[in-house]
Amino acid sequence: MGIQILNNQFDYSLEPRRAIFFEDVKSNYASIECIERGLNPLTTSLCVMSRADNSNGLTLAASPTFKKVFGMSNVSHSKELPFLVHNRKFNYRLWYKKHTDIFGQTVEPDPKYISEVERWARQTYIVPPQMLLYIKKNLEVINILREITSIDEIHAYSIDESCLDVTESLDFFFPEITNTYEQMDKLAQMLQRKIYHKTGLYVTIGMGDNPLLAKLAMDNYAKHNTNMRALIRYEDVPSKVWSISDMTDFWGINVRTEARLNKLGIHSIKELAHADPDMLKRELGVIGLQQFFHANGIDETRLTDKYKRKSVSFSNSQTLPRDYTRKSEIGLIINEMAEQVAVRLRKSKKKATNFSLFVGFSMADYKKSLSVSRKIEPTSSTKDLQEIATRLFNEKYDEGAVRRIGVSANNLIDEPYQLISLFDSDEENEETIKQKKDEAVQEALDSIRQKYHFVSVQKATVLKKGSRAVARSKMVGGHSAGGLEGLN
């Protein structure tokens, strides 16, 4: 790294200074749903609510107006809304729960407040998720980003956020402007307009000398500016980075990390930036040292240096639509999930050497969840993984209403070539031949499913009560892929 510290001050002249954008689609899912209905994403009250796996409903996204009117955020349950979803009436139970003290004294809601909540509730759209539509829109946005920089300079941070390096694009689009930061602002404005005119979506854009500063600019400043743009340069670190009041608003610091820093006497980003780096590394490891540099605005990441994640596990988990109490039905779900993990292993040409099972119970049962892991012989066989999963389940489960299940194939290794020794016994060769036949059948099934859909070939067990294979195949990321009507 080209970092030099002089009297606890960084020499930023040694740091790479790139033109980096961090763009975020404003209220992505909710905005897309508004556009699909010909509504204004900024003025319409709308929330995307998933009911696929939870009868209470989970708010996945909400429009700015919905958040403002009801004081709600994303990822909250419908029972936390100030109105009842099914009839749009005031939620008295929630009100009294929040406004009754330990002595039973209750504050009654203002009739005007009740009227206002119900008025907005009646004009609020509550719609199911359409994950395939959101993915399609994201690809449209990515294609627009490619109009201003190369695909190698674009990093999709999430379905609604992307980081892009536009350093080489500035002079191409605005050769008449000599100031780099003025060029960046003009290009960001042009990008906002392109995305709006082609998709109807509003985007916030953070700009910075490196990806970290651009991300902080977007999260902490651009989202609050009327033009939805903001810039942080190295020179702005003291005024714009150290002044971030809530430590959890800083990239990479969650509540747990904040608590650990507090124990070290660090209660602000400025204090983190001026802490002893040796102490941070000693107490928090390499992550502590990284946070020290980040607090000083240092990030030498290049977007062209693609990070290739070394996969160490494949997992599958789900929340069941109801309480499962019959052992046979629970076992059926576990077998279906083990099969899906096995398919992913074979597709990636990996084998698992460890297998884990998680079983979570209904809240009404007050039972501690089950979690077990075991070393296994390297395998990607559906039959092997199903047998292992069933064995672990039978060993640990006695009774109880199950609501959550998770399986995981861990400690993956590359699928090895299998050699047959000239000295193998006939029995061993027969076993090898049988194994090859099983693998050939699995490969054929995988090929058919890849071409025609996962449920194109299924066992008769999918017809049994409790099976989730077909229902899950229609989801993306655990939510509805789309094609459903709105709930309002």
Q: What is the CATH number of the domain that holds 261?
A: 3.30.70.270
Count of the separate structural domains present in the chain: 3
Rounded to an integer, what distance in angstroms lies between the CA atom of residue 260 and that of residue 262?
5
Task: Give CA–CA dist 222/228, Å, rounded.
Answer: 5
Last residue of a domain, one of 296, 326, 355: 296
Question: In sequence order, which residues have a C-beta less than 8 Å from that of residue 176 and are 6 or more positions away?
Answer: none
- b (16+ CB within 10 A) / e for 81-115: bbbbbeebebbeeebeeeeeeeeeeeeebeeeebe
| Residue that the structure tokens 């780099």 belong to | 180
Of 102, 127, 152, the residue that ends a domain is: 127
Residues 435 and 453 in one domain: yes
Greatest mean pLDDT range, 11-15, 198-202, 301-305: 198-202
- Residue 180 has which token pair? 């780099």
380 and 444 fall within a common domain: yes
pLDDT of residue 288: 92
d(CA 231, CA 208): 6
| Dist CA 36 CA 20 (whole Å) | 31
| Confidence tier at 485 by pLDDT (50, 70, 90) | very low
Quick one: which of 204, 306, 212 has its CA closest to 251?
A: 212
Residue that is written with structure tokens 């049994």 in the block: 464
Judge if 63 and 116 occupy the same domain.
yes
Give the pLDDT of residue 54. 43
Summary mean pLDDT of the chain: 84
Q: Where are the alpha helices (DSSP H) in 221-276?
A: 255-263, 269-273
Q: Which residue has the tokens 């000295």?
A: 423
Sole residue written with tokens 């509550």? 126
pLDDT tens profile 292-346: 999 999 998 888 776 555 557 888 888 887 888 888 888 888 988 998 899 888 8
Residue 269 lies in a domain: yes
> What is the pLDDT confidence band of residue 194, given thresholds at 50, 70 and 90?
very high
Is residue 8 domain-resident? no
Q: What is the pLDDT of residue 71?
A: 83
339 and 244 part of one domain: no
The enclosing H or E element of 358 equals strand 350-361
Give the pLDDT confidence of 107-147 residue by residue, as tens digits: 999 999 999 999 999 999 999 998 889 999 999 999 999 99
Q: Using one digit for the tens of pLDDT, what is the confidence trace for 234-244?
A: 999 999 999 99
As a whole number of angstroms, the distance between CA 333 and CA 468 comes to 7
Q: ∠ CA(436), CA(442), CA(447), 5° rounding?
A: 125
Q: Which two tokens stand for residue 209?
A: 């000398």
Structure confidence at residue 453 (pLDDT): 56
The DSSP H or E segment spanning 405 is strand 402-410
Backbone phi and psi for residue 299, each to the nearest 5 degrees, phi listed first: -155, 110
Q: In terms of domains, do 204 and 251 share one?
A: yes
The per-residue pLDDT for 72 is 75
One domain, residues 236 and 329: no
Q: In percent, how much of the chain has pLDDT > 70?
A: 80
Domain shared by 85 and 188, yes or no: no
Give the Cα separation of 47 and 487 in Å (integer). 10
The answer to whether residues 271 and 362 belong to one domain is no
pLDDT of residue 429: 58
Judge if 115 and 186 occupy the same domain: no
The Cα–Cα gap between 164 and 146 comes to 9
Examine the pLDDT at 215 and tell me if it is beyond 60: yes
Cβ–Cβ < 8 Å for 375, 354: yes
Domain boundary among 127, 145, 163: 127
Tell me the per-residue pLDDT of 365-375, one tens digit each, with 9 for 90 and over: 778 889 999 99
Pair 43, 65: CB distance under 8 Å: yes
- 373-388 confidence digits (pLDDT tens): 999 999 988 889 999 9
Rg value, the chain, Cα: 27
Q: Are residues 143 and 108 in the same domain?
A: no
Distance, CA of 67 to CA of 83 (rounded, Å): 14
> How far is Cα 474 from Cα 463, in angstroms, rounded to an integer?
16
Residues 424-476: pLDDT tens digits?
A: 555 555 655 555 565 565 666 556 656 555 555 555 555 455 555 555 455 45
Residue 64 near residue 27, CB atoms below 8 Å = yes
Pair 165, 212 in one domain: yes
> What does each C-alpha distance from 281 to 286, 287, 296, 330, 457 come to in angstroms?
6, 7, 16, 46, 53
Sequence-distant (≥ 6) Cβ neighbours of residue 39 within 8 angstroms: 46, 125
Report yes or no on 15 lying in a domain: no
115/184 same-domain check: no
- Mean pLDDT, residues 38-62 taken together: 80
pLDDT computed for residue 486 by the predictor: 41
Which residue range is the domain that position 351 belongs to? Answer: 314-480
Asked if the structure places residue 487 within a domain, the reply is: no
Is 14 part of a structural domain of the chain? no
409: domain CATH number is 3.30.1490.100
Q: What are phi and psi of 295, to 5 degrees?
A: -65, -25
pLDDT of residue 63: 93
Within a domain: 304: no
In a domain, 488, yes or no: no
Per-residue pLDDT, 10: 79
Instruction: Give the least confident one: 66-70, 71-75, 394-398, 409-413.
Output: 71-75
Q: Is the pLDDT of residue 162 over 50?
A: yes
Domain assignment present for 309: no
pLDDT of the residue at 55: 46
